[in-house]
Amino acid sequence: MSNSNTSNQDEWKKEAEEHLIRYCGDFSPFVIASAKGAYIYTQSGRAILDFTSGQMCSVFGHNHPEIIKAIQRACQGSIHLLSTMLSPAVLRLCKQLATLLPEGLDKCILVNTGAESNEVALRMAKLTTGGFEVIGFTGSWHGMTAGAQSHTYSTTRTGYGPVMPGSLALPAPYAYRCPIRHCTGTCDNTCLEVGIELVDKQSVGALAAVIAEPVLSAAGIIDLPSNYLKRLKQLCEERGMLLIFDEAQTGMGRLGLNFAFERDGVIPDFLTLSKTLGGGLPLAATVTSKEIEGHCHAKGFIYITSHVSDPLPAQVGLAMLQILEQEQLAKRAREMGAYLELQLNALQDKHECIGDVRGRGLLLGVEIVEDRERRLPAPELGYRISEKCLELGLSMNIVRVPGLGGVFRIAPPLTITEEEIDLGISILDRAIEICTA
């Protein structure tokens, strides 16, 4: 590296240390100047293949031309309005979402982030049922706001004081490492039955809702089986609880369907969308039934924020639905996901440190272990591989499952090509070779 480049790097790091709150541990070792498609580009012009779609949000690739056009259209109209004022884009987006979704998911509110969309669902569930107890899954991630964080059971709970009263947890059906030491490799729902028994014993009789991701991402890419979700829905109905599906990462085609719940024939009482709905812009939605919305309205439901129903992100949401349909990206996610999984399985055959490959569509997990036979966790090895990948030109995200191992969350844009997948696999292969030599 030249003295000039070193000096520039030292300068931006100094600025970051002086002026930024460090919100995610260490920042990446470079500044990003631009992004397009499946690549991000540093200030020095270096291209890095992005296997995380940004923060899992740029689901159709960075800076998709139709998204840019949508932003330009919004800037020619209105960007922001008083919360009680509606724009044509907001009306059209809510109507199109309702048209795309099954009956029972009919009415929508547009907000900014996944945490916010979950807050709306939680407030409405509590208002509808009269209860306050909410069940989440171990390892789950639903956001950083107070309510959503209370039902998030990943690595973000320690040190911030009490959570919301009534926060209860179910063991995630982590078949590779059964949480109740019962199964190996497959889940027979015993963990669900045991978990619900514990919930029943802890409850004070005020159960309101279960909130679940169809694929638990921060927990290490844990796919909730179809029969599991059907039983979960039944258990909710027996107890008067409402079911919230958080599809922040699984919506908009990523799992090979428009929305993940479509596979299972289980329609939730609330569907929350974010990340992928905005394609890189802050847009989220909470969708529920006419009956629940009417009940909440009659009880005086209120949710006013500075940017509820903003026109600009709604224009982008409309463009996202158009891209999803016109480019048949759910179908492409199935095809490219199958190809990527095949390549990852080949890497597993080659490298002892890959203990498991799992997931659906273009949301796949690779668990790194010290010993495949004994399934000994190796999170530090995973971090070294991740750092080496970035050094070689591939952005990978690894999560450390509390008390267990490190899992790569692989979520490239749905527009990824076979050639780009091959490049990513070759970099990952090389990084593993270097780190395990």
The domain ranges of the chain are: 31-60+328-436, 66-326
pLDDT category of residue 1 using cuts at 50, 70 and 90 = very low
DSSP 38: T
12 part of the active site: no
Q: In what order do the strands lie in the sheet with 39-42?
A: 32-36, 39-42, 47-50, 394-395
Question: Which member of 50, 119, 213, 356 is catalytic?
Answer: 213
CATH code of the domain occupying 66-326 = 3.40.640.10
Average pLDDT of span 30-54: 96
Distances (CA, A) of 332 to 27, 132, 256: 32, 41, 7
Using 50, 70 and 90 to split pLDDT, how confident is the model at 184?
confident
Which residue in the list 50, 119, 141, 239 is annotated as catalytic?
141
| Confidence at residue 155, expressed as pLDDT on a 0 to 100 scale | 80
User: 7-21, 203-217, 222-236, 251-265: which has the minimum mean pLDDT?
Assistant: 7-21
For residue 7, is pLDDT > 80?
Answer: no
Q: So what's the pLDDT on residue 34?
A: 97
Q: Any idea of the CA torsion for 411, 417, 422, 424, to the nearest 10 degrees?
A: -40
Q: Which residue in 107, 126, 275, 334 is the catalytic one? A: 275
Residue 25 reports pLDDT greater than 90: no
pLDDT in the model for residue 371: 87
Position 4 pLDDT exceeds 80: no
In angstroms, rounded to a whole number, what is the distance separating the alpha carbons of residues 370 and 30? Answer: 30
Q: Decide if 36 is catalytic.
A: no
Say whether pLDDT at 402 is over 70: no
Q: Which two tokens stand for residue 392?
A: 């070689």
**Residue 133 falls in the annotated catalytic set:** no
Confidence at 5, pLDDT banded by 50, 70, 90: low
Question: What integer pLDDT is reported at residue 154 of this predicted model?
Answer: 87
Average pLDDT along the chain: 94
Q: Lowest-confidence range among 62-71, 173-182, 203-212, 321-330?
A: 173-182
Query: Phi and psi dihedrals of 370, rounded to 5?
Result: -85, -35
Q: Is 275 designated active site?
A: yes
Number of H helices, E strands in the chain: 13, 18
Quick check: 9 pLDDT over 80?
Answer: no
Q: What is the mean pLDDT of residues 143-168?
A: 92
Concerning whether 409 is annotated as a catalytic residue, the answer is yes
Of 149, 249, 315, 343, which residue is the catalytic one? 249
pLDDT in tens, 291-338: 999 999 999 999 999 999 999 999 999 999 999 999 999 999 999 999
More confident residue, 184 or 17: 17
Of the listed 50, 106, 246, 269, which one is catalytic?
A: 246
Radius of gyration, CA atoms only, the chain: 22
CATH number assigned to the domain covering 31-60+328-436: 3.90.1150.10
CA distance 153 to 396: 22
Helices 290-298 and 114-129, packing angle to 10 deg:
70
